[in-house]
Structure 1
Amino acid sequence: MAFRGWLVFGLGLALPLATQGCDDGAYDGGGSSGGSGGSGGSVPITGAGVGQACSGATPCRPGLACTNGVCELGHSTPEGQNCVIGGECQDGLTCLLGKCAKAGTGQTGDSCTSDADCISGHRCVLAGFSTQCAPEGTGDVGADCQVAGDCYSGLTCTLGKCGQPLPGAPTFGLPTWQGVSCEGATAGTVRAYFEVPGANPKGQEGDFFRLPFPNDVRIKGGTLDLTGFPTPGAELLGFDPVKLYVDALDQGEGAWGTNPTMVFRFSGEIDFDTFTKTSGGIYPIQWVDITPGTPEYGSSAGLFFQYDPNKSNYVCPNSISMRRPTGYPMTPGHQYAVFLTTAGKSKSGAAIERSEHLAAVLADAAPSDAALAAAHAAFAPLRAYLKDKLIGTELVLNAAVITAGKVRDPMQKLASVVDALPAPTAKSWVKCGGGAKSPCPQAEGERACGDGSAADFDEYHALVSLPVFQKGTPPYTESGGDVRLDQPERSEDVCLALTLPKGTMPPSGWPLAVYAHGTGGSFRSHARAEIAGALAKAATPGGTVGFAVLGIDQVQHGPRRGASTASPNDLFFNFKNPAAARGNPLQGAVDQVALARLAAALDVDAATSGGAAFKADPAAIVFYGHSQGSTEGSLALPYSDGYKAAVLSGNGASLIHALLAKKQPVNIAGALPFVIADLDPSTGKLRSGDLHPVLSLLQIWIDPADPLNFGRVIGKAPETGKLPKHVFQTYGTGDNYSPGKTMAAFALASGLELATHDSSATSTEPIGEPPLPEKTLPLAGNVSVSGTPTTLVVRQYGPPTGKDGHFVALDVAAATADIARFLGMAAQGAVPQVGQ
């Protein structure tokens, strides 16, 4: 049993809570602990298998056919009868739980929770950090395999051989890694581990977390040193997913992220309650900013923590893990101390032993040993803080110093380079309709020119030349994809669609909304009634505003995938390649910065456009992003004053919470406990949930591209020299693409206030702890930023029956109207309102 507690905003609300695991990361596998259990080993295997010789005397296994003396897939076993592999079953069936059953409808690349979701001949496999339908392999029982996908459906890969899965086990396999080796609990005195690797005198070294983690002691030569961090191996995926990120962080990161999980270890059991009660006016667990000369010095956002007396596959028994509240990242570039006080006791009530290494790094004099001297130098800010606050070093039971990386610097540098380049230009304009052909590659089907029948707008296509900062060759599946910060790698002609309201253009030009689509969309996703149509006649208290709407193919869509035809779901969320996983959203953000400059200078004559002459009003440019497009906009908006206001639809933040709960467009939540190889079989969840150290590691890597770190500087506290932007976040309840915790994280990090929910939301989801109160409508100028009334609002809507909450901006009329009103008022130069 794990025990959790909270210190809310440093106000001392400590609430011990015993839980059977955590509240996150459940696998929704159709009633099993992760997918179809296949035959579960219950079907006897009699007869020759696929590819084996057969004859009247040596028949094939039931369901196979003997053709020219060799067994082949027979597709003959009817529904409800025994099977070993899917190819034994009749067409349209698959092998589930040892019986032929109706196959699902999932095609290659579609999200799945079990083989039952996929069409006949396909199976549910692990693909990076998600589960997806894929064509089945060709390995029969006993065949060599590396991963389960090498085998026929109904089988799994265990110890390098295809075979029937264990009862109740998923057919994509179970990891056999047993985790780190741990010593037994010590008898008698319990020790708080602080053991510096390689120090002399040698500490009680052992597992990785015997030095509190993360910790500036592990920064060596200006880069992180994660030597010894546990990894599960390549068994399930054919590559080690954790080692990928350990190596990536080792190779160049010089500081930690802004949203880490802190882990402390003990040699024996502790009394959890003693760590939740004030002693001498000091809480026994502290997470404070120790950056001198800053307004935040000595402050704490609070924290939540968990004590686990049990072993996971990564952390040995008796650990305390903690995080700052969701939506309250550390300030980039600041230093923080996380420490425990001696008020915490062992389970027997006795004092807990302090490490000799900790005493050495807290002492005034530097140790003579090089490893301890380096740790001593890293702890200088903590020693100064303790002295300033009159806290004796003898009261510190264990501690870590963490330098939060300057995670916004890469995006800021990229935007500066873009601003120094000539403004992008568009070419090859075509007015759609009347059979006109788009100049864009792959312009078939939904990507083709519209037929010109839209009632409220005309559609134009063009190609815009944009700077590309990602290294390598798209789609960066295995390598490449990181961004260079000093100059573009190349330029790229990107498909563009522009809609113009029918009617007369204002003398100053059309107000213009840059629309960034979600994963799976295209450059013309906005050419629909709910976006371009609604914005062509945006109703505001000051009258109707007609917007031009401009969109492009976002990163990893259409021709921007290179020669690949793989799903953008796999390519954009490419956790198999850390460089691309971080580089993709950064490049997408660069695109939005460049498009603001294109929009400001847009002025096209009739001869060039093939239709009407048009220009944009540079004083009335706004941003509207959905999902992936919102992520990119969140990173771009702080550094682009061309945008006056922004709507962010389906916008999540905090990778940790996305990994734990995201089920669409790919099922990351379901695969995660298996990929990381730390499934709690008693709960079907990832051990430790949002406090898992691997999730912390992934968050550290992605922090430079996580909206969590950018929301505050969009509107509430702009970067020096930048203007605040009005922000309206639409929040759909029941969102499986951007789960509620991720949208809440962005709202909290951005300092948004919660407007009264729309009537479509028959139930609401809490934002924050304690939850944000709802504010009366209409809500406008609700935050003063350096004396400027700024609208910073989130509002909840409920999806229609059968629809996902991710799409309320399109599916709920009130949300569509709120968006049009908000952007329209911003374009008019008014303080925009949400609701009416």
Structure 2
Amino acid sequence: MFVLPTGAEGEGFFDLPWPSDVRRTAEGTIDMTGFPTRRNPFVQRYLDAMTERLDGFGTNGAVYFRFSRTIDAGALPERPEQSLEDGAAVFLVDVDPDSPDVGTRHPIALHFQDCPTRFWSAHTLAIRPVYGLPLASDRTYAAVVTTGLNSADGEPFARSADLEAVLAGESDAAVDAIYGPALDALEAAGVTRDAILSLAVFTTQDATGETIAIRDWMHAEYPAPSVVTVETDRVAPRYERVAGTYGPVPIFQAGELPYANAEDGGDITLDATGAPTVHGEYDARFSLTIPTSPMPAGGYPIVLYAHGTGGDFETVVRNDTAEKLAALGIASMGVDQIHHGARNPTATDPSILFFNIPNPLAARDNNRQSALDIVQQARLVPGLTFDTGLVERDGMPVRFDPAQTWFMGHSQGGLNGPIFLAIDDGARAAVLSAASSVITPSLIEKVEPLVIPDIVVALLNLPGGDYMQAFALEGFTVEHPVATLLQTWLEASDASNYAHLVFSSPREGFAPKSVLMTEGLRDAFSPPTSIEALAGAMRTPVVQPVGSPLVSLRLAGVDPVAPPVTGNVAGGAATAGLLQFPDDGHFAIFDNETAEAQYLGFFGSLLEGGPGTIPSP
């Protein structure tokens, strides 16, 4: 089907392949009018947010084609690489005239939903980018179904009259302006108009630009923080601990903290000049452990630690990470992540407040605020020192080395950490434990600390005895229309869209960063699918032995590497690798002695001043 929207009664939203640049408002945002809400207020909130705020479509979501009857599934590409072949019956291609990759096909995964459900239309083919290979931001793509796809009974499909007019350049002028350049790009790539059975042309949103601009504004316009209060807290054999607060830290989210309800807000806003609006400020609690070993001439190396859901500013001490780093001569600093510790004025579980799917504004911008919080934390390091009456080394004030400032994030800290690493240069290397991206797998697979599938069933009011039955009845897969709806809205806070900036193609003036990622293949908190999506998007190779091969890395031509690993990316300027632990779950880096030894060995190697080494087990 290819039916241009007219507003006629009985017209279906997916009668025109979606996403489509035809569905845009006069203001340039995407128009979600007609999406099947089933009078569901949760779905409607996302539709309203998208129509009000998004300048383009998703980079990880699905594209939908409706057919009049069952298709011949045997004609579809069985593997993503087959969608890159000239004879593929379905494919996705860059058609942006300003793109360096115009004419290049993008590998896809497919799902066919034959039976209608509450949100699926009958006979719908969904295609999506392979996780770990997101589409580029602010780029125009064409999804194409060719006449090589027939119905299940072998009969060819008839091309829709509206598409015939588009292919002939005889449609409405505004419609021709959308499809004409794409058709020209397709022809230049060897795809003739008479080979096209159905077509979607859409432009992705600028998923990263706003967050990058806010980071740059902070460095140019907002004061760097300083210590507000501090006291000596504890002296241990390997470290001296001080605790206190620093500020100011800007709050870019509008509304009433902790944005528990949809009406409480939680969105990051810009003023008329495009600058971010600071809706408040706070002083951040910190816990800082300073090694008792002699201070290097340039100051102590320091790790900025971002805890997981349920933690607080002292987690880095309680889980012994601080002690183990101090044994290497490395300081560590923990803070309260958003909606945790002193930043949660309620008794509500912080996992509910942070992920907060019922509130679209907070669900998206909690993570962006968290990344910007780390930007401000990193700005503290160059000037961080204390009165010698509080803490000193050989009578000299304690200092910390900006050139040896590193990051470590676990779980929730691995959601915002990659964004920080991409947009800022305040840390030179990182360890990412159970770090992930792309929300759609979590809607189905994440069962700790919250059973997200149960929440999805409740929000969508799906029938069934449990979430597995409900998902089976609804056909709720990662390609489900509501899953794509959520993913499209959340792209600006999805680390997969920022990952390439970490070491593959850093921002201008930034050095590539070394990264060690860890994955427990039995993780129920951060689904391995999502961990691997981040690794793929970052082009982080798997360190042998390989427990779970990554399709995205295979397609990107990134082979597994044998340890020890050093200088293997960015032309030798950085080190990167994903360690996989088949018998471990979410806390592999803490529970598995080999994982612990390897991440500590990585940090220890950074002390030598090079790109670091991921050691052998």
Does the CA-based 8 Å contact 1:644-1:827 persist in structure 2? no
Q: Does structure 1 residue 731 correspond to structure 2 residue 519?
A: yes
**Aligned residue type for 1:776:** A
Match of 2:450 in 1: 666
Match of 1:195 in 2: 3
Deviation at 1:673, TM superposition (A): 3.7
* Counterpart selection for 1:328 from 128, 133, 138: 133
Match of 1:745 in 2: 533
* Counterpart selection for 2:211 from 403, 411, 417: 411
Report SS of the residue matched to 2:197. Answer: strand
Does the CA-based 8 Å contact 1:523-1:553 persist in structure 2? yes
Match of 1:817 in 2: 597
Q: Residues of 2 paired with 1:247 and 1:362: CA distance?
A: 32
Match of 1:649 in 2: 433
**Aligned residue type for 1:791:** T
Q: How does 1:151-170 map to 2 (within 5 A)?
A: none
**Aligned residue type for 2:340:** H
Report SS of the residue matched to 2:507. Answer: coil
Deviation at 1:375, TM superposition (A): 2.3
Does the CA-based 8 Å contact 2:437-2:494 persist in structure 1? yes
Q: Does structure 1 residue 498 correspond to structure 2 residue 288?
A: yes
**Aligned residue type for 2:58:** G
Match of 2:369 in 1: 587
Deviation at 1:680, TM superposition (A): 7.4
Q: Does structure 1 residue 289 correspond to structure 2 residue 94?
A: yes
Deviation at 1:593, TM superposition (A): 0.9
Deviation at 1:519, TM superposition (A): 0.9
Percent of residue pairs identical: 32
Deviation at 1:373, TM superposition (A): 3.1
Match of 1:447 in 2: none
Does the CA-based 8 Å contact 1:620-1:828 persist in structure 2? no
Deviation at 1:374, TM superposition (A): 2.5
Q: Does structure 1 residue 382 correspond to structure 2 residue 187?
A: no
Q: Residues of 1 paired with 2:31 and 2:470: CA distance?
A: 32
Q: Residues of 2 paired with 1:290 and 1:205: CA distance?
A: 32
Q: Residues of 2 paired with 1:308 and 1:726: CA distance?
A: 42
Post-superposition Cα deviations, 1:351-385, rounded to whole Å, max 9, x if no partner, equal 211111112223234x3xxxx43322221331221
Q: Residues of 2 paired with 1:755 and 1:738: CA distance?
A: 20
Q: How does 1:774-789 map to 2 (within 5 A)?
A: 774-783=560-569, 785=570, 787-789=571-573
Q: How does 1:541-556 map to 2 (within 5 A)?
A: 546-556=329-339
**Aligned residue type for 1:739:** P
Q: Does structure 1 residue 606 correspond to structure 2 residue 388?
A: yes
Match of 2:75 in 1: 274
Deviation at 1:827, TM superposition (A): 3.8
Match of 1:768 in 2: 551
Deviation at 1:603, TM superposition (A): 2.2
Deviation at 1:247, TM superposition (A): 1.2
Q: Residues of 2 paired with 1:805 and 1:297: CA distance?
A: 41
Does the CA-based 8 Å contact 1:514-1:623 persist in structure 2? yes
- Identify, as 1 or 2, the structure richer in helix: 2
Q: Residues of 2 paired with 1:529 and 1:684: CA distance?
A: 39
* Counterpart selection for 2:33 from 227, 230, 239: 227
Report SS of the residue matched to 1:653. Answer: coil
Q: Does structure 1 residue 248 correspond to structure 2 residue 53?
A: no
Q: Residues of 2 paired with 1:230 and 1:827: CA distance?
A: 56
Q: Does structure 1 residue 343 correspond to structure 2 residue 148?
A: yes
Q: Residues of 1 paired with 2:291 and 2:114: CA distance?
A: 64
TM (norm. structure 1) is 0.68
Q: Residues of 1 paired with 2:296 and 2:43: CA distance?
A: 55
Post-superposition Cα deviations, 1:704-732, rounded to whole Å, max 9, x if no partner, equal 00111111111112123322111110111
Q: Does structure 1 residue 391 correspond to structure 2 residue 191?
A: yes
Deviation at 1:480, TM superposition (A): 1.7
Match of 1:576 in 2: 358
Post-superposition Cα deviations, 1:150-200, rounded to whole Å, max 9, x if no partner, equal xxxxxxxxxxxxxxxxxxxxxxxxxxxxxxxxxxxxxxxxxxx1111117x
Post-superposition Cα deviations, 1:442-486, rounded to whole Å, max 9, x if no partner, equal xxxxxxxxxx4x332121111111121111221011222111242
Deviation at 1:417, TM superposition (A): 1.5
Q: Residues of 2 paired with 1:477 and 1:684: CA distance?
A: 27
Deviation at 1:264, TM superposition (A): 0.6
RMSD of the alignment, in Å?
A: 2.4
* Counterpart selection for 2:505 from 712, 717, 720: 717
Q: Residues of 1 paired with 2:476 and 2:256: CA distance?
A: 38
* Counterpart selection for 2:265 from 480, 486, 492: 480
Computing the radius of gyration over CA atoms, which structure comes out larger, 1 or 2? 1
Structure 2: gaps spanning 5 or more residues: none
Q: Residues of 2 paired with 1:347 and 1:776: CA distance?
A: 47
Does the CA-based 8 Å contact 1:361-1:373 persist in structure 2? no
* Counterpart selection for 2:299 from 509, 520, 533: 509
Residue 270 to residue 565, structure 1, CA distance change in 2 (3 Å): same
Q: How many residues of Structure 1 are paired with residues of Structure 2 in the alignment? A: 593
Post-superposition Cα deviations, 1:567-611, rounded to whole Å, max 9, x if no partner, equal 101110111211111111011000111111111221222236599
Match of 1:557 in 2: 340
Match of 1:145 in 2: none
Q: Does structure 1 residue 464 correspond to structure 2 residue 246?
A: yes
Does the CA-based 8 Å contact 1:274-1:343 persist in structure 2? yes
Residue 610 to residue 509, structure 1, CA distance change in 2 (3 Å): closer
**Aligned residue type for 1:470:** Q
**Aligned residue type for 2:47:** V
Match of 2:495 in 1: 707
Post-superposition Cα deviations, 1:685-720, rounded to whole Å, max 9, x if no partner, equal 351411101000100010000111111111112123
Q: Residues of 2 paired with 1:298 and 1:680: CA distance?
A: 45
Report SS of the residue matched to 2:603. Answer: helix
Q: Residues of 2 paired with 1:769 and 1:559: CA distance?
A: 40
After superposing the two structures, state which structure 1 stretch, 345-354 or 743-752, moved more. 345-354
Does the CA-based 8 Å contact 1:600-1:642 persist in structure 2? no
Deviation at 1:314, TM superposition (A): 1.2
Does the CA-based 8 Å contact 2:539-2:553 persist in structure 1? no
**Aligned residue type for 2:403:** A
TM (norm. structure 2) is 0.91
Does the CA-based 8 Å contact 1:518-1:628 persist in structure 2? yes
Match of 1:128 in 2: none
Report SS of the residue matched to 2:380. Answer: helix
Q: How does 1:177-188 map to 2 (within 5 A)?
A: none
Structure 1: gaps spanning 5 or more residues: 1-192, 235-239, 434-451, 539-545, 758-762
Q: Residues of 2 paired with 1:293 and 1:411: CA distance?
A: 23
After superposing the two structures, state which structure 1 stretch, 242-251 or 329-338, moved more. 242-251
Does the CA-based 8 Å contact 2:303-2:408 persist in structure 1? yes
**Aligned residue type for 2:334:** G
Q: How does 1:622-701 map to 2 (within 5 A)?
A: 622-678=406-462, 683-686=469-472, 687-701=475-489
